[in-house]
Chain A
């Protein structure tokens, strides 16, 4: 029983394409997040949703659009992919401001 799951695990695509990453949590948490881990392994938050409402939107290009159809899902859509978007993207969830649980990550490679 995976608590936070992401699909796909690997994503290889060409510049200019549009792609989506899906995230689901079965923990009953109210809050979900997207983080980006760059090539230097540094993790930085991108977005956070609480009960389907956006509460954190860091300085992220508007090519990135999160969508939360319900509180168990938070998907990330990326338009016009660029080389610099190559990274590992992690989804996470928490019960409001408490412990955050992370998914296994999606490694995105843009060629």
Chain B
């Protein structure tokens, strides 16, 4: 059974600080890794997809890395802004995504 863990569960940082969100998984199978953002009461917005053959993906201030050998993915958000406050979820799989419980981020102005 595939398990996805996200630590910490919550994070509060001052505006401008870089964010580092961690995601770990227990299996070494070849799966994609996808990062999402969820705002309160809203749906999920896809941020980045790292395909199983890739090691990282970048979009603007966001960078995500994937290390299958250690079973870890990291999402970096540079120069955080209050608008980055949300819950960030990582998910692993192909057709069937297994989600972590998420990290709730608060960026203080």
Binding site for B on A (CB under 8 A): 31, 33, 35, 40-45, 48, 50, 55-56, 58, 90, 92, 94, 96-105
Contacts and interface: CB of A to CB of B under 8 A. Distances in A.
Contact of B43 (A48, A58, A104): A104
Nearest to B48: A99
Contacts of A101: 46
B99 A43 contact: yes
Interface residues of B, number: 21
Chain A's interface: helix, strand, loop or mixed, by majority? Answer: strand
Interface of B: 32, 34, 36, 42-46, 49, 51, 87, 89, 91, 94-99, 101-102
Contact of A90 (B44, B95, B96): B44
B32 A97 contact: yes
A43 B89 contact: yes
B95 A98 contact: no
Given A31-B95, A45-B96, A97-B95, 13 more contacts: A35-B97, A41-B102, A48-B96, A56-B95, A90-B44, A96-B95, A98-B32, A100-B34, A100-B91, A100-B97, A102-B44, A102-B45, A102-B46
Chain B's interface: helix, strand, loop or mixed, by majority? Answer: strand
Contacts of A96: 95
Contact of A99 (B43, B46, B102): B46
A41 B87 contact: yes
Nearest to B89: A43
A11 to B, nearest CB: 15
A5 to B, nearest CB: 10
A43 to B, nearest CB: 4
A104 B32 contact: no
A104 to B, nearest CB: 4
B99 A44 contact: yes
Given A102-B44, A105-B42, A42 B101 contact: yes
A104 B97 contact: no
